[in-house]
Each structure stands twice: as C-alpha cells, then as structure tokens.
C-alpha cells in the first residue's frame, strides 16, 4: 500500500466502511511507516474536533422570532388569503377611479375632496365639512345616508 | 429530551402555534448547530434556523404522519441549506473572532472554543457537497443510511462523498493549525 492512499483509508475506517482486507493493509503500512503514523494521529484529532459538540447556543429570542414570523405568514396552501385580497384590490382600484375620474374627465383639472363629495351630497354642511368636528367611525353611516358607498365613506373619516 | 409525540404533530399540522413552539424548542439547537457547520457564522446560522422552521411550518401539510417526523424535518432543512449554499456568492472571510458571550473561566473551555472555531473555518474550505454530508453526520449524528435518505442520494455516493469530505476536512483543519 502506498502512502498516498492512507488518508482515504483512514477516512473509510472512521466511517466504518473499510473492508477487513484493506484494514489489514493499512495497519501493516502504519506499522512500518512513521510519516503515515503521524498522519493517522493527526487524522484522529481532526475527526475528534469535528465530532465535538459546540458551546454556542442559538440566540435566546430565536423561538419568539420564529413564532412571530410564522403568525404573520399567510396560511400556506390555503386559498383563503387570496380569496379576500383579490376583491379588496379590485375594490381599491374602483375607489381610486371614483375619486379621481372627475379630475381627469371633468371640466376642471383639479377637484378637491369636497368637490368630489359634492357629487354625492348637495349639502356639505350636513356631512360635517365646514365645522371643526373630528370624525369618528360613527360618522360612516351618515355618509351612507347621502348615497356615498361605505368604501368611500371610510376614506372620509 | 423527550421526542415530539403524535398528538403534538397532529396539532402542528392543524396550525397550532403551541405545538409548533414545542417543535422549535426541541430542534432549534440541532438545526442551529447544523447551520453553524454549514455556514460558519453565528448570524447566518441563526438566520438559517429561522428560515428552516418557517419552511417547516409552511410545508407542514406535506408531512406524511405515517413516516418518521425527524426524517422529514431533516430533509426539508437539508434542502434549504443546500439552496442557501448555492445562492451564496462567495465564501465568507471566516474572520469571526471566537465568541465572547461569557469569558471562559477554564483554559480547557477556551481551547474547546478555539477548536470549534477552527472546525467551522475548516468546513468552509470544504466543497459544499462534502460539507453537507459532514454537517449531517457530525452535527446531527446521522448514520450513512439515514444520510442517503435525507440527501436523496445512493448509499454508495454517500460513502464516497464522505470519505473525500473527511479527507478534505482533515487537510483544511491541519492547515489551520490542527490540534
Ligand atoms: Zn506511509
């Protein structure tokens, strides 16, 4: 057996896949070759270091971090998620169109929010414009009375 | 450490976060240390561990309860590690200093830390396809048969990769000072 084969045989021995015949040849070679005995010693130390556990622990907040992320992720293969996001996107586009179409096609280049609303209600006073009241969710139903769709009303609160 | 029972797995598959937490707590150390061997750096190992569990959570519906959970988990994690190694543009510089979390009291402990660091640095010098095997064998304590299953390669390929990998590791480790 040649010296150049020794490391391969040592690796196979370590993995428990060295045949008895090859093991015999390896041992015979090591018995008469000091350089390879040295290699075998070092090899043993390399493998010991590799097998040794490590002291480093995962970061303490890792479990929490993972759980937080997992809770935020959409349901894996459940179509439920897209089920509502698609109509919501369509809704959003419609709202944008409702709000900004008059700006593009109306007689004037720019319309204020109030002017857009005027398309829905004649008397803006009733809607609360013109006074300093701060609107709450409760006002949504007020808008709807004037024929303003709830999606638009939400934007006005 | 007790293993994860079937009722926990059922709850996990149903999306129960408490069951998921039990699984993370049970396996995080193993996965993190696998990550350390694959990537060499603690930050990247932590990132990898997080991604691994999120992937497991995401794919929980694909786990077949009739089969061993651990095999499935390791397979998903190994594939993720392989992808990550592939996507990496270059091998990091390995200039990470020894961890200084707590000043090691005993010299033995310090030596062990230095060895650990050198092992990770040497692993970074080993080709990814060999490194993967070394990490599974010496990080997760898998036998060659289990590795073949998890890596999706033949037993013969595992054997030849592992003997080449060990030889490559040995050379890299000795080049870094051995001990
Ligand atoms: Zn020799």
Query: Taking 90 as the threshold, does the pLDDT of residue B94 lie above it?
Result: no
CA separation for the pair B95, A85 (Å, rounded): 46
CA separation for the pair B13, A149 (Å, rounded): 41
Last residue of a domain, which of B20, B54, B89? B89
Calculate how close chain A gets to B80, using CA atoms only, in Å. 16
Calculate how close chain A gets to B137, using CA atoms only, in Å. 9
CB contact under 8 A, B116 and A15: no
CATH number (domain holding residue B11): 1.10.1740.10
Is the domain of B152 the same as that of B78?
no
Q: Cβ(B111)–Cβ(B119) under 8 Å?
A: no
Predicted confidence band of residue B178 (pLDDT cuts 50, 70, 90): confident
Q: What is the pLDDT of residue B108?
A: 84
Q: What is the pLDDT of residue A77?
A: 52
Q: How far is the CA of A43 from the centre of ligand 1 (A)?
A: 14
Q: pTM of the prediction?
A: 0.69
CATH number (domain holding residue B176): 1.10.10.10
Is the domain of B18 the same as that of B77?
yes
Q: What is the pLDDT along chain A (157 residues), one digit of tens a residue?
A: 999 999 999 999 999 999 999 999 999 999 999 999 999 999 999 999 999 988 789 999 999 999 999 988 655 554 555 566 777 777 777 777 777 665 555 454 555 666 555 555 544 444 444 433 333 344 444 555 556 666 666 555 4
Is the domain of B63 the same as that of B127?
no
CB contact under 8 A, A46 and B109: no
Q: What is the pLDDT of residue A54?
A: 81
Predicted confidence band of residue B89 (pLDDT cuts 50, 70, 90): low
CB contact under 8 A, B113 and A43: no
Please list every residue in chain A whose beta carbon sits closer than 8 Å to the beta carbon of residue B57: 70, 73, 76
Last residue of a domain, which of B89, B123, B141? B89
Q: Cβ(A22)–Cβ(B178) under 8 Å?
A: no
Please list every residue in chain B whose beta carbon sits closer than 8 Å to the beta carbon of residue A49: 115, 118-119, 173, 179
Q: Which of A43, A59, A70 sits opposite B20 (nearest CB)?
A: A70
Please list every residue in chain B whose beta carbon sits closer than 8 Å to the beta carbon of residue A59: 46
Interface mutation target, options A42, A49, A80, chain B, most CBs of B under 10 Å: A49
Is the domain of B82 the same as that of B21?
yes
Is the domain of B63 the same as that of B131?
no
**Residue A98 or B57, more confident:** B57
Hey, which of A77-81, B48-52, B112-116 has the most confident mean pLDDT?
A: B48-52
Q: What is the pLDDT of residue A137?
A: 42
Is there a domain that residue B97 lies in? Answer: no
CA distances from A55 to A124, B38, B134, B160, B173 (A): 70, 16, 18, 30, 19
Is the domain of B111 the same as that of B85?
no
Is the domain of B112 the same as that of B82?
no
Is the domain of B108 the same as that of B37?
no
Q: What is the pLDDT of residue B109?
A: 84
Q: Cβ(B97)–Cβ(B129) under 8 Å?
A: no
Is the domain of B155 the same as that of B71?
no
Is there a domain that residue B95 lies in? Answer: no
Q: How far is the CA of A23 from the centre of ligand 1 (A)?
A: 14
Interface mutation target, options A19, A48, A54, chain B, most CBs of B under 10 Å: A54
Q: What is the pLDDT of residue A156?
A: 57
Residues in A whose CB is inside 8 Å of some CB of B read 7-8, 10-12, 14-15, 17, 42-43, 45-47, 49-59, 62-63, 65-67, 69-71, 73, 75-77
Mean pLDDT of the residues in chain B? 90
In angstroms, how far is CA A20 from the centroid of its own chain?
A: 52
Calculate how close chain B gets to A12, using CA atoms only, in Å. 6
Q: How far is the CA of A25 from the centre of ligand 1 (A)?
A: 11
* Three-state SS at B118: helix
Is there a domain that residue B96 lies in? Answer: no
Predicted confidence band of residue B102 (pLDDT cuts 50, 70, 90): low
Is there a domain that residue B127 lies in? Answer: yes
Query: Taking 80 as the threshold, does the pLDDT of residue B60 lie above it?
Result: yes
Q: Which residue of B has its CA nearest to A11?
A: B163
Structural domain of B123: 103-179
Q: What is the pLDDT of residue A11?
A: 97
Is the domain of B2 the same as that of B73?
yes
Compute the C-alpha angle B130/B131/B133, nearest 5°: 70
ipTM rounded to 2 decimals: 0.86
CA separation for the pair A123, B156 (Å, rounded): 84
């Amino acid at each position: 057996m040649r010296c150049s084969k020794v490391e391969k045989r040592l690796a196979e021995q370590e993995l428990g896949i060295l045949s008895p015949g090859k093991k015999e040849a390896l041992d015979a070679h090591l018995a008469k070759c000091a350089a390879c005995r040295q290699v075998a010693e070092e090899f043993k130390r390399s493998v010991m270091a590799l097998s040794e556990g490590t002291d480093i622990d995962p970061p303490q907040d890792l479990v929490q971090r993972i759980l937080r992320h997992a809770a935020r992720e959409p349901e894996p293969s459940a179509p439920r998620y897209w089920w509502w996001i698609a109509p919501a996107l369509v809704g959003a586009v419609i709202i944008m169109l409702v709000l900004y179409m008059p700006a593009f096609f109306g007689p004037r280049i720019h319309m204020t929010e109030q002017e857009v609303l005027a398309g829905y209600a004649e008397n803006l006073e009733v809607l609360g414009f013109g006074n300093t009241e701060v609107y709450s969710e409760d006002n949504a139903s007020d808008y709807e009375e004037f024929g303003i769709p709830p999606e638009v009303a939400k934007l006005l609160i | 450490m007790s293993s994860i029972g079937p009722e926990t797995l059922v709850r996990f598959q149903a999306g129960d976060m408490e069951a998921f937490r039990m699984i993370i707590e049970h396996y995080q150390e193993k996965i993190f240390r696998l990550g350390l061997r694959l990537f060499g750096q603690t930050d990247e190992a932590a990132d990898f561990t997080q991604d691994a569990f999120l992937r497991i959570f995401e794919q929980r519906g694909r786990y077949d309860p009739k089969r061993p959970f651990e095999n499935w988990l390791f397979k998903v994690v190994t594939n993720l590690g392989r992808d990550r190694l592939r996507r990496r543009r270059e091998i990091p510089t390995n200039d990470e200093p020894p961890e200084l979390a707590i000043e090691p009291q005993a010299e033995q402990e310090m030596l062990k830390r230095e060895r650990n660091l050198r092992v990770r640095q040497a692993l970074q010098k080993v080709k990814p396809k060999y490194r993967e095997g070394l990490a599974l064998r010496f990080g997760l304590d898998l036998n060659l048969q289990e590795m073949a299953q998890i890596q999706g390669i033949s037993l013969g390929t595992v054997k030849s990769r592992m003997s080449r990998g060990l030889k490559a590791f040995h050379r890299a480790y000795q080049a870094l000072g051995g001990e």
